[in-house]
Amino acid sequence: MNGLLLDEPPVQAVGEECSLDHYLVQPDETMDARIRAAKRKLGTDAVVLGHHYQRDEVIRFADFTGDSYKLSKAAAESDARTIVFCGVYFMAETADILARPWQQVVLPDLNAGCSMADMAEIGQVEECWELLERLKETAGAGILPLTYMNSAAEIKAFCGERGGLVCTSSNARAAFEWAFARAGKILFLPDQHLGRNTAFAMGIPLSEMVVWDPYQINGGVTPERLRAAKIILWKGHCSVHQRFLPEHVDRVRREEPGMQVVVHPECRWEVCQKADAMGSTERIIETIERAPEGSSFAVGTEIHLVNRLAKRFAPLGKRVITLDESGCLCTTMYRISPQHLAWALENLVEGRVVNRIQVDERVKYWARVALERMLEI
């Protein structure tokens, strides 16, 4: 009897006495059975998505795991009415953009944002674009806006409405090639490092790239440099990946001879140049999967994923460590806790939808256009 109660506790009604604050004071381990019970009650009516950077206590309850676009696409293709996205705000927005009309998206904690996405505000981008449009008349070269998946829905819509598209870290090069077949310049938002690493790998020298700082007059760039540049990089970055430094690679080379250094393209250009390989989260995982037994890797990406890979591949004779010994935690991803997930799911069981993410219909239309252009390439 007691064992049955532990395995399948009754889902608690979510009234005032069971507000989110009530959940947040409960120990993590007390949430596990409640999450499992709520998921069983909801069945196929709800699907839980877990981004690679989520903490283990949350991602183990995910029906699908992956990067942001892979998860949004998987959810939209499911028959679930409710998509519970354990990620950050822009990911939930993307899921809502791609979802079918009868689907709804829930973000367990509305404070789970993305510092990179927040670095490109729509008003600032519009001001930048107005100046670039004026320069285009004298430079004689067209320009297209491209945005990384890690951006707000309004930025995706901005690019879609102006002939541009969205890209992921795995198809950024294809997106750049697509844009250059149609224009002479690219405005790339919001991650300067992904844009710089992608363009450099295509043979574009650093001298033909400039960084637009939205907090400086005219972006801090002279009109002459803007006219000459092929790539205009928005001054944004990932707070996690920017922490990796060239000296971290040097340390691994010195202390761990033979270890391969694999980094995400959101890392600094100097780090990527020193690394053995650079690739998206999915590519990093595939690289380790395909490596022979006895291989060892120092990985430059978020610490939860690195630790998970270390545990997964240790029985296969592969060693995985973080490139930075101090570990790089995505604090916004970490905001979603078992308590937040239990609160969201138990509300659904009671017929209440909390923290629903709904993108404005006009924004959704143009953002979807930008995403569909990405699929074409």
Domain final position from 207, 238, 269: 238
Token pair recorded at residue 359: 């993108």
374 within a domain of the structure (yes/no)? no
Query: Which pLDDT tens digit goes with each residue over 195-228?
Result: 999 999 999 999 999 999 999 999 999 999 999 9
The whole-number average pLDDT for the span 289-298 is 97
What is the rounded distance in angstroms from the CA atom of residue 211 to the CA atom of residue 271? 18
Phi, psi (deg, nearest 5) at residue 339: -65, -45
71 within a domain of the structure (yes/no)? yes
pLDDT of amino acid 200:
98
One-letter identity of residue 169: S
- 265, 194 contact by CB (below 8 A): yes
pLDDT of residue 376 exceeding 90, the answer is no
Query: Which pLDDT tens digit goes with each residue over 46-91?
Result: 999 999 889 999 999 999 998 877 887 887 788 999 999 999 999 9
Q: How confident is the model at residue 137 (pLDDT cuts 50, 70, 90)?
A: low
- Domain match, 12 and 96 both: yes
Please state the domain count of the chain: 3
- Domain match, 89 and 196 both: no
What is the rounded distance in angstroms from the CA atom of residue 156 to the CA atom of residue 92? 14
Token pair recorded at residue 27: 């120990």
271 within a domain of the structure (yes/no)? yes
List C-alpha distances in Å: 354 to 80, 235, 350.
16, 34, 11
Query: Which pLDDT tens digit goes with each residue over 149-158?
Result: 999 999 999 9
Q: How confident is the model at residue 139 (pLDDT cuts 50, 70, 90)?
A: low
CATH number of the domain residue 30 falls in:
3.40.50.10800
- Domain match, 338 and 261 both: no
* Structural domain for 87, as ranges: 2-112+333-361
Query: Which pLDDT tens digit goes with each residue over 237-248?
Result: 999 999 999 999
- Domain match, 299 and 339 both: no
366 within a domain of the structure (yes/no)? no
Domain final position from 238, 272, 294: 238
DSSP assignments along 310-336, one per residue: HHHHGGGT-EEEESSTT----TTGGG-
- Domain match, 16 and 93 both: yes
How would you classify residue 151: left for phi > 0, otherwise alpha for psi between -120 and 50, otherwise beta?
A: beta
pLDDT of amino acid 18:
62
Give 107's contacts (C-beta < 8 A, 6+ positions apart).
Answer: 85, 87, 88, 89, 92, 355, 357
What is the rounded distance in angstroms from the CA atom of residue 335 to the CA atom of residue 110? 9
What is the rounded distance in angstroms from the CA atom of residue 86 to the CA atom of residue 88? 7
Percentage of the chain with pLDDT > 90? 81
Query: Which pLDDT tens digit goes with each residue over 248-288?
Result: 999 999 999 999 999 999 999 999 999 999 999 999 999 99
| Count of Cβ atoms closer than 10 Å to residue 203 Cβ | 6
pLDDT of amino acid 245:
97
pLDDT of residue 17 exceeding 70, the answer is no
- 249, 242 contact by CB (below 8 A): no
Average pLDDT of the chain is 91
371 within a domain of the structure (yes/no)? no
pLDDT of amino acid 13:
47
- Domain match, 20 and 101 both: yes
Q: How confident is the model at residue 7 (pLDDT cuts 50, 70, 90)?
A: very low
Domain final position from 238, 253, 273: 238
- Domain match, 280 and 305 both: yes
pLDDT of amino acid 149:
94
- Domain match, 70 and 162 both: no
- 119, 234 contact by CB (below 8 A): yes
- 46, 70 contact by CB (below 8 A): no
Global pTM value? 0.91
- Domain match, 123 and 202 both: yes
Higher pLDDT, 333 or 172: 172
Percentage of the chain with pLDDT > 70? 94
What is the rounded distance in angstroms from the CA atom of residue 376 to the CA atom of residue 373? 5
Query: Which pLDDT tens digit goes with each residue over 89-131?
Result: 999 999 999 999 999 999 999 999 999 999 999 999 999 999 9
pLDDT of residue 311 exceeding 80, the answer is yes
150 within a domain of the structure (yes/no)? yes
Q: Which of 4-13, 101-110, 180-189, 346-355 has the lowest mean pLDDT?
A: 4-13
- Domain match, 177 and 269 both: no
25 within a domain of the structure (yes/no)? yes
What is the rounded distance in angstroms from the CA atom of residue 206 to the CA atom of residue 200? 7
- Domain match, 19 and 62 both: yes
Phi, psi (deg, nearest 5) at residue 219: 70, 5
pLDDT of amino acid 22:
87
- Domain match, 83 and 173 both: no
Tell me which residue of 280, 266, 203, 204 sits closest to 236, measured CA to CA: 266
15 within a domain of the structure (yes/no)? yes
